[in-house]
Structure 1
């Protein structure tokens, strides 16, 4: 119970070749020149109701079934190939290579993710999808004309076909599957088949999807599906191509994950990438339930033709939307580590760090005060180590930094994602302290709401502060430290936020109290003298 996909021309439905009689022609001479056997001449006479075979007028049109006609063997050629495929010719199986010819009886298999293009003598082309298997059942040119006879047995997989226009009655292009037969003339169409169902989508031309239960005429922009033993579905309008105008012309990250407007009625979307507009091979083929153009993570750098189409609830794939896109994602940018995104930097000369790469690479570092890096504050190239420390103090403000990797083999790759950080204003500056007989009183001007952290240390690095207190007041009274030089610093602290920057350390000198020492020493000496 085959399903037949045919153009609406009556000559193609009957698979007849139209021959225009020339002077001197008769059934015997026609049979000898163009038919498979001389025994066909009575059939030609009967098929055309010829009463007097010796008196056929020139210009008379005779119909001859194509199956009776003699052909000249032809071959198809593999004009493009991506991935692994194999050719079985008789008992021999060999890897398929670019430029090889495919003859009648040959079997072609593509592997996962592999595609290839077969080109026929008249310029027709078939794009063979991944995980497909086909057999070239017939490929010939009719002796009576330039009409091409193509018969492909597609055991599994998908074919996208661009069939050259063929003169009426002179050729055919047939794709036979376990559940369907598609025969067309001068059209672009897709056929996806399994053992139980066939789906057909017509992009240009007109196709008839037919089986013993009925038929559906599919004009351009329509599709249908047919199951074994059931009437083909009425023509269904294919979904339009998605809008891709806003997608970037250049991307620096893979896998691709580019959002576009959703289409009503779409359940999923297919994204294909090819190295050229002709789509003679597909280098990447992804299906997503979200309206996003996606790719594999290992997509190489290069210029591609991006093709996206929507898929409806019947599984019919809609019209194509295409555009050019450039991928420049290698070498991958280093991973920034310090300062972290949205971090706070309190030191005057920040240090920037990122993940290191292998030998033979260097880095390019950029610092700006805007996310677009339109106003660069620093552009340092040829950095051999994965870190950089600013030599000049960085004023308070908001900043962005990024880094790129440069290798000998791939040149400079894209920059990392911009890392934003903030340099807050310095903390409160202590006023001159009040040094009492037993206490040290510190004061500073109020800043933001919250509390303050105060540290007193005998060394300028504050490695081991002697005092580390927190207070909600703008003053702090502590026991007077020992005599000598001390350092004081203050910073603001707000609940739920990182601490602010330390204010500039202030040096405080605690004088020696000689009178107190004498008041203790003299009585002791008097006691010893008694």
Structure 2
């Protein structure tokens, strides 16, 4: 800059006024641009000169950049120093994003109002390269997902029942700066903003209640329906949240969440801790997955994401939320997976993530059990096991055990060409468990069905002998063996609605005194040593009648058919 030399006081005054005017104009101009300025984070070796040369449309703004930022040494800037640059001073061009994965029903409304829809049931559509320009809208339906990737590698997952508009995708400066503005009209998005220092990204998400500004972080933004709040949760890095009704900026750091209400209030809370998944088995044998977790105070549900192990964490094969103490999934193929689970508390804040690797082996699915069903008593001599027949199944594997864990097997048998099995060697009475698995040529043996408990009851008994002597009736039946008890009932009604006499005895006979003449009905039940009660035997009848000498005669027993 040339120095001004003059001996004319009027000329000096004139030049001084011009300089003051230019400075005031520059300051006013700079103040005006503060409302729309780009925040640049300095890298090692940066100076205002090289920043201006790389990113500004004209080097004439270099001096104004110095005035705006008031740095102690514009030629030697410390790393991570914040540099404010008015947007209109920067090179600008329209940027784009790409849709790379979809699941379920997803609709894209492009900037020119043209549309494209994806409907791929519950499978992930891969290999997409759909270019999205400024103004594009992404809509997801129930159980649907859409993954978007930006210029710097940042990713965004549009959750189900959501609507997101790409309001601004400006590429600035030499192409390593960008200004992205998104508007979330409804639903929820998860953002993984690239912390790569090669790029300098301004990333803002707007809702009807708040604006969220981020750089190099992973976080989620959700929009509540009607008067429900906007929620932002931070899993990595930091975001700045500002209510649309105030100018107050609120820092939200890792492990914290912000709730922005309709009246402009911003509340910051700790996120729920990552859930403990240590009780989940390494091999899961049912799909869809439904695992009940222990109840935790203030936790009302869980969000579960499942990806193929070691695959892209944004290529979800399942993404489900349930407001119960359950981990759930949609129906997914067998394979090796990683489960990502976050708890949801009573403030609707989704918490830190827990990860768990597992193997899903659910095919071929186990057959449907027909009989015997749960807790069904079995009293027949031969016991028949039945299950539903399946197509493409070469055989079935049947197991019967004395315990729920099947450590005490009494039978393991492969059965081909049939969906039933007759067990002819009847075990002793007690509780048993059975299960069945399908075997196919393609998948081998699948998982067993859930264990079904059933009771084997003692045989039904009947009265063998009835004698009457000295005013005493003696009833005798066949002996069931040691350690059994017997319950009998006597009534004058075949329905046994009114019981005249009922006893439990340990011997296979009983004596009854002073029984008046008449017709009686008798039935018998056996009780095993572990307390299981057999079914009642069929009723039998006998008649006591008086003779000419007032002694009593016992007419023969009659077996009554039901």
Q: TM-score, normalised by structure 2?
A: 0.67
The CA deviation string for residues 336-362 of structure 1, in whole angstroms up to 9 with x for no partner, is 233333334334432222233347554
Q: Could you tell me which residue of structure 2 aligns to residue 241 of structure 1?
A: 274
Kept in 2: contact 1:17–1:66 (CA 8 A): no
Residues 124, 360 of structure 1: alpha-carbon distance in 2 compared, 3 angstrom cutoff: same
Q: State the 1:160 CA deviation.
A: 0.9
Q: Does 1:189 align with 2:224?
A: no
Residues 111, 361 of structure 1: alpha-carbon distance in 2 compared, 3 angstrom cutoff: farther
Give matches, 1:246-325, under 5 Å: 246-276=279-309, 279-296=313-330, 298-325=331-358
Say how many residue pairs are matched: 447
Instruction: Return 276-285 or 237-246, whichever deviates more.
Output: 276-285
Q: Could you tell me which residue of structure 1 aligns to residue 113 of structure 2?
A: 91
Kept in 2: contact 1:207–1:218 (CA 8 A): yes
> Structure 1 CA distance, aligned partners of 2:51 and 2:348?
52
Residues 261, 443 of structure 1: alpha-carbon distance in 2 compared, 3 angstrom cutoff: closer
Instruction: Return 275-284 or 411-420, whichever deviates more.
Output: 275-284
Q: Could you tell me which residue of structure 1 aligns to residue 66 of structure 2?
A: 48
Kept in 2: contact 1:430–1:445 (CA 8 A): no
Q: Does 1:17 align with 2:40?
A: yes
Tell me which of 110, 117, 124 is aligned to 2:147.
Answer: 117
Q: Could you tell me which residue of structure 1 aligns to residue 534 of structure 2?
A: 499
Other structure's SS at 1:171 match: strand
Other structure's SS at 2:485 match: coil
Instruction: Return 403-412 or 309-318, whichever deviates more.
Output: 403-412
Kept in 1: contact 2:100–2:149 (CA 8 A): yes
> Structure 1 CA distance, aligned partners of 2:357 and 2:241?
34
Instruction: Return 386-395 or 196-205, whichever deviates more.
Output: 386-395
Residues 499, 171 of structure 1: alpha-carbon distance in 2 compared, 3 angstrom cutoff: closer
Kept in 1: contact 2:232–2:258 (CA 8 A): yes
Other structure's SS at 1:165 match: coil
Kept in 1: contact 2:525–2:534 (CA 8 A): yes
Q: State the 1:372 CA deviation.
A: 1.7
Other structure's SS at 1:450 match: strand
> Structure 1 CA distance, aligned partners of 2:141 and 2:239?
30
The CA deviation string for residues 80-133 of structure 1, in whole angstroms up to 9 with x for no partner, is 332232333323212356321433223322222111322233222111211222
Instruction: Return 305-314 or 71-80, whichever deviates more.
Output: 71-80
Q: Could you tell me which residue of structure 2 aligns to residue 448 of structure 1?
A: 485
Q: State the 1:388 CA deviation.
A: 0.8
Residue ranges of structure 2 left out of the alignment (5+ in a row): 1-33, 119-124, 491-500, 513-522, 538-562
Kept in 2: contact 1:18–1:64 (CA 8 A): no
Q: State the 1:180 CA deviation.
A: 2.7
Q: State the 1:398 CA deviation.
A: 4.0
Kept in 2: contact 1:147–1:166 (CA 8 A): no
> Structure 1 CA distance, aligned partners of 2:402 and 2:300?
43
Q: State the 1:186 CA deviation.
A: 1.2
Q: TM-score, normalised by structure 1?
A: 0.70
Q: Does 1:200 align with 2:232?
A: yes
> Structure 1 CA distance, aligned partners of 2:488 and 2:263?
82
Q: State the 1:60 CA deviation.
A: 7.2
The structure whose RCO (Cα within 8 Å, separation 6+) is larger is: 1
Q: State the 1:280 CA deviation.
A: 0.6
Other structure's SS at 1:83 match: strand
Q: Does 1:100 align with 2:129?
A: yes
Give matches, 1:318-333, under 5 Å: 318-333=351-366
Q: State the 1:410 CA deviation.
A: 5.4
Residue ranges of structure 1 left out of the alignment (5+ in a row): 1-10, 51-55, 454-469, 478-489, 503-530
Kept in 2: contact 1:242–1:262 (CA 8 A): no
Q: State the 1:134 CA deviation.
A: 2.5
Q: Does 1:420 align with 2:441?
A: no
Q: Could you tell me which residue of structure 2 aligns to residue 523 of structure 1?
A: none
The CA deviation string for residues 352-385 of structure 1, in whole angstroms up to 9 with x for no partner, is 2223334755422122233222343322224222
Give matches, 1:369-380, under 5 Å: 369-380=402-413
